[in-house]
Chain A
Amino acid sequence: MEHLILITAMLAALYMAWNIGANDVANAMGTSVGSGAVTLRQAVLIAAVFEFSGAVIFGSHVTDTVRKGMLDPMAFSTAGPFGVQGPVLLALGMTAALLAAAIWLQLSTKLGLPVSTTHSIVGAVIGFGILAVGIHGIRWGQITEIVASWFVSPLMGGALAFAIFLGIRTFILRNPDPVAATVRVAPYLVMAVCTILALTFTQKVLHNLMHNPHPTFVGLAALAIGGTAGLVARGVIKVPEATIGADPYPYVEKVFGGLQVLTAAFVAFAHGANDVANAVGPLAAVVGIAKTAYTNVPNGVPLARWILAVGGIGIVVGLAMWGYKVIATVGRHITEITPSRGFSAEFATACTVLLASRLGLPVSTTHILVGAVVGVGIAHGLGALNLRTVARIAGSWIATLPAAAVISALLYLGLKAIFI
Chain B
Amino acid sequence: MRTIFELFGKSPFEPLAKHGQMVDDVIQEVTPLIESFLAQDWSEAKEIADRISRMEHRADQLKAEIRDHLPRSLFLPVDRGDLLRLLKAQDAMADAVEDLAVLVTMRKTPVPDTLKPHVQALMDQVLQAAKTWFTISMLLPQLQEAAFTGPEVKKVLDFIDTLDEQEWRSDQLGTQLGRESVLLEDELGAISLQFIMRIGQKLSDVPNHAETAGDMVRLMLAKG
Q: Which stretch in B109-117, B140-148, B200-208 binds the other chain?
A: B140-148
Docked complex: B1-15 residues within 8 A CB-CB of A = 1-14
Contact A383 B11 (CB under 8 A): yes
Closest to A112 in B: B2
**Does A385 sit within 8 A of B, measured CB to CB?**
yes
Q: Which residues of B contact A383 (CB under 8 A)?
A: 9-14, 76-77, 144
Q: Is B149 an interface residue (CB 8 A)?
A: yes
B65 to chain A, nearest CB (A): 14
Complex interface: chain B residues within 8 A of A390 (CB): 7
Assembled-state Cα–Cα distance A176/B151 (Å): 5
**Are A380 and B151 closer than 8 Å at their CB atoms?**
no
Q: Does B43 contact A (CB under 8 A)?
A: no
A337 touches B8 (CB 8 A): yes
Count B-side interface residues using an 8 Å CB cutoff. Answer: 30
Distance (whole angstroms) from the CB of B68 to the closest CB of chain A: 13
Task: Indicate the member of B4, B13, B75, B142 with the most A CB atoms within 10 Å.
Answer: B4
Determine which of B3, B11, B146 lies in contact with A249 in the assembled complex, contact meaning CB atoms within 8 Å.
Answer: B146
Instruction: Give min CB distance, A352 to chain B, whole Å.
Output: 16
Q: Contacts of B77 on A, CB cut-off 8 Å?
A: 377, 380-383
| Among candidates B4, B73, B149, residue contacting A27 with C-beta atoms closer than 8 Å | B4
**A169 partner, pick from B12, B147, B151, beta carbons under 8 A:** B147
**A370 touching B12, Cβ below 8 Å:** no
A241 contacts chain B at the CB level, 8 A cutoff:
no
* CB proximity of A295 to chain B, nearest CB, Å: 45
Partner of A386, one of B1, B73, B145, B149: B73
Q: Which of A177, A334, A370: most chain B CB closer than 10 A? A: A334
Query: In the bound complex, what is the Cα–Cα distance between A102 and B11 (angstroms)?
Result: 36
0/1 interface trace, chain A 106-129, chain B, CB 8 Å (1 if under):
000000111000000000000000
Q: Which chain B residues lie closer than 8 Å to A174 at the CB level?
A: 149-150
Contact of A380 among B12, B73, B148 (CB under 8 A): B148
B74 at interface, CB cutoff 8 A? yes
Cα–Cα distance between A330 and B8 once the two chains are bound (Å): 11
Q: Is B32 an interface residue (CB 8 A)?
A: no
Contact residues, B60-100 vs A (CB, 8 A): 71, 73-77
Number of interface residues of A (CB under 8 A): 49
Q: Which of B5, B9, B75, B149 contacts A330 (CB 8 A)?
A: B5
A332 to B115, CA, bound (A): 58
Whether A114 touches B75, Cβ cut-off 8 Å, given contacts A173-B147, A174-B149, A383-B13, is no
Instruction: Determine which residue in B3, B6, B73, B148 has the highest number of CB atoms from chain A within 10 A of its CB, and name it.
Output: B3
CB of A219, distance to nearest CB on chain B (Å): 33
Residues of A within 8 A of B1 (CB): 112, 326, 329-330, 333
Q: Which residues of chain B are near A366, meaning CB under 8 Å? A: 4
How far in angstroms is the closest Cβ of chain A from B179?
44
Residues on B with C-beta less than 8 A from A388 are 71, 73
In contact, A336 and B11 (Cβ under 8 angstroms)? yes
CB distance from A419 to the nearest CB of B (A): 38
Q: Decide yes or no whether A338 CB sits under 8 A from chain B.
A: yes
> A27 to chain B: which residues have CB within 8 Å?
3-4
**Is A194 at the interface (CB under 8 A from chain B)?**
no
Given contacts A112-B1, A249-B145, A382-B77, contact A336 B151 (CB under 8 A): no
Assuming the contacts A169-B147, A169-B149, A334-B5, asked whether A384 and B73 have C-beta atoms less than 8 A apart, the reply is: no
Q: Is the CB of A334 within 8 A of B8?
A: yes
| Any B CB within 8 A of the CB of A40 | no
Binary per-residue interface labels of chain B (137-170) against chain A in the complex, 1 for a CB within 8 Å, 0 otherwise? 0000010111111110000000000000000000
Give Cα A313 to B5, complex, Å: 26
A254 to chain B, nearest CB (A): 13
Interfacial chain B residues near A326, Cβ < 8 Å: 1, 3
Contact of B74 among A112, A169, A175, A385 (CB under 8 A): A385
A376 CB to closest chain B CB (Å) equals 9
Please determine whether B147 and A386 come into contact, CB atoms closer than 8 angstroms: no
For B147, what are the chain A residues with a Cβ–Cβ distance below 8 Å?
Answer: 165, 169, 173, 379-381
- Give the Cβ gap from A151 to chain B, nearest Cβ, in Å: 18
Tell me if A413 counts as interface (CB < 8 A to partner B). no
Q: Point out the residues of chain B lying under 8 angstroms from A178, CB to CB.
A: 146, 150-151
Bound-complex Cα distance A336 to B5 (A): 10
**5 closest residue pairs by CB, A with B:** A383-B11, A384-B9, A112-B2, A385-B75, A380-B77
Q: Which residues of B contact A (CB under 8 A)?
A: 1-14, 71, 73-77, 142, 144-151, 224
Excluding A26-B3, A27-B3, 7 further A-B contacts by CB distance (< 8 Å) are A178-B146, A247-B142, A374-B7, A377-B77, A383-B13, A384-B8, A385-B75
A/B interface sample: 22 pairs, CB < 8 A: A30-B5, A31-B5, A34-B5, A113-B2, A114-B4, A170-B149, A174-B149, A176-B150, A248-B151, A249-B145, A326-B1, A336-B8, A336-B10, A374-B75, A377-B75, A380-B224, A383-B9, A383-B144, A385-B76, A386-B9, A389-B4, A390-B7
